[in-house]
Amino acid sequence: MTSMKNKGITVISHDSEVRTLVKGFEDYGSYRKRITYNIPMQIIKAIIAESNTCEQFIKYECYDSMIFSGNTPYAWWISSSGQKMTNWRGVEHTKTGCSCSLRNACYTKNKKMQL
């Protein structure tokens, strides 16, 4: 546990904190990566229940990749409750999209995008 601006912050580590190169997964949702946390999910849920706020950070860097085609998601993540999530960094959990799409700053040729 650390602190920032007089708030306590609990960081829970997992087995996927390093970059993973993914190639050759063309179909919607065809790549799957299971994340294993360093503590049981029961304890994580107890920490969430006692917290004022909770955030999860997922970093996705891409080149020649697509997360959406119009409103159709190519990629998503699954919440701890098993819900398919199509919101990415900077987008409310009830909406579909990514922060770069909100800023109209998505991928262009030779430009790397980071969510």
Distance CA 114, CA 67 (A): 12
Q: How many CB atoms lie within 10 A of CB 38?
A: 9
Confidence of residue 88 (pLDDT cuts 50, 70, 90): confident
Give the count of alpha carbons within 13 A of 5, CB side only: 0
Please give the average per-residue pLDDT across 85-90, as a whole number. 76
- Residue 99 parent element (H or E): helix 99-102
Which tokens in the block code for residue 40? 């049981």
Q: What is the dihedral of CA 23, 77, 66, 109, to 10 degrees?
A: -80
Which tokens in the block code for residue 107? 């991928």
Is it the case that residue 105 has pLDDT exceeding 80?
Answer: no
Phi/psi at 59 (nearest 5 deg)? -105, 130
Q: What pTM was computed for the model?
A: 0.65
- Residue 50 parent element (H or E): helix 41-50
Question: What's the pLDDT tens digit per position in 52-62?
Answer: 888 777 777 76
Is it the case that residue 38 has pLDDT exceeding 90?
Answer: yes
Q: Is 44 helix (H, G, I), strand (E, B) or coil?
A: helix
